[in-house]
Each structure stands twice: as C-alpha cells, then as structure tokens.
Amino acid sequence: MKFFIDTANLEEIKEAAALGILDGVTTNPSLMAKVGVSGEENIRNHYKAICEIVDGDISAEVIATDYDGIIREGKELAALHPNIVVKVPMIKDGVKAIRWFTDNGIRTNCTLVFSAGQAILAAKAGATYLSPFIGRIDDINWDGMDLIAQIVHIYNVHGFDTQVLAASIRNPMHIVKCAEAGADVVTCPLSSIMGLFKHPLTDIGLAQFLADHKKANG
C-alpha cells in the first residue's frame, strides 16, 4: 500500500518525506487555500515546489468543470512535471476528460467519489487513481470503509487497473482498515500518519530498557 500525504503545507510534506515512507502527495483547492497559495502562477509554482520535495505522484486538481476547460487545464498541469497526476472531479465532463487524458498518456486521479457506481465509471474511463472520500461518508453516518471494500472487490473481480486511493482519512485506524480492505493507496493528513507510531507499551517498554541499561552501566 502506497502512502501519500494529503496537504499543500510544504513543512508537513518535508516532515513526512523525512520519515522515508512517503510515496506521493495529494492536494485540492481547499488545501491550497488553507496554506494561503492563490493565483494561477503561485499555485503552479507551489506544485513545482512539492515535486522538488517528493519523488512520487503529485495530484494537482483542475478548477474547470467543463470538458474543454478540464482538458486545457489538465494539459498545463501535466506539463509542469512528469510526476504530476491531474485530479479531475467525478462529473460527466470529468469522466469524458479522463478518457481523453488516458488516451493521450496523461495520468489522472478521479476525485469526489462517494459510490461504487462512480468508481465503475472512472475505471471504465481509465483513471489511474480513484479517490473515495471515507471521512466525509462517515460524517453523514454511512460507512466509508464499506465503500473502500466494495470498490476493491469490484476492481479485483473485473481486473480494472485503476488504483483505489482512499482519501478523506481522519485517523490512524482508517489507515489500518484501508490496508485490511486492500486499498492501493492511502492519502492522509500528517497527524494520522504520526498516530500510527503511538502505543503506550512501546513507550513503557523503551523507558524500562533505558532505565535497566542505566542501572547496569551507570
């Protein structure tokens, strides 16, 4: 399972990359706005800065929602760096654009996915990645993990190449459950990645080892 970080914050990206476990980065317009990056040129420079930090797939989202606009913007984003993956919303023109990108060698991440039916459409169009939003499904009292398991099953049964990129992850257990369900990728906030380290018995055990070493060695 690949680990992506879901942020546009360069310091967080550097911190995750320094762990040696990072395979890529996902961003979205909200995450860009959160770090105060605005304006077409600044946004594109920010993507380039991310590509300098992480040698892995970097999702850059289009703002256009019409077919011609998505194609134009996606081509420009893909030209920024070979590692850029064009993130396209799960809408009718988005799926049509994903088919065009697939046929023209541009990799895509189909985002804002909330159902298995949408997952089938994106896979049929040849999306490289599919981003179901687990946390937002949990937020409305449905089960996001059920959707991940259902999509993984469908893709396996039918041999679709599209990789399931579990998004909207809110805690470390989401990551563990995605691993169990067979997600290809998880994209997580830094806090969820850091949460994986935590176990009180590790802390207690380490403190005991160090105390015993000190007692024996002075």
Give the catalytic positions in this structure: 87
> Site mask, ligand G3P, residues 178-197, x = CB under 6 A?
---------x----------
The residue among 34 and 158 lying less far from ligand G3P, judged by its C-beta, is: 34
Stretch of 97-105, 133-141, 176-184, 195-203 contacting ligand G3P, by CB under 6 A: 133-141
Query: Given candidates 1, 35, 136, 172, which one binds ligand G3P under the rule CB under 6 A?
Result: 136
Task: Determine if 135 is a binding residue for ligand G3P (CB under 6 A).
Answer: yes
Min. distance of Cβ 140 from ligand G3P in angstroms? 11
Angstrom CA distances, 173 to 108, 133, 185, 212, stand at: 27, 15, 15, 33
State which of residues 3, 4, 5, 6 lies at the interface with ligand G3P (CB under 6 A).
6
Helices 116-124 and 92-103: angle between axes, nearest 10 degrees: 30
Q: Is the dihedral of CA 111, 176, 117, 126 positive or negative?
A: positive
118 binds ligand G3P (CB under 6 A): no
Per CB under 6 A, 83 contacts ligand G3P: no
Closest CA to 76 of 111, 103, 41: 41
Choose among 45, 142, 25: nearest CA to 85.
25
Q: Which stretch binds ligand G3P (CB under 6 A): 17-25, 66-74, 128-136, 177-185?
A: 128-136
Name the residue type at position 92.
Answer: K
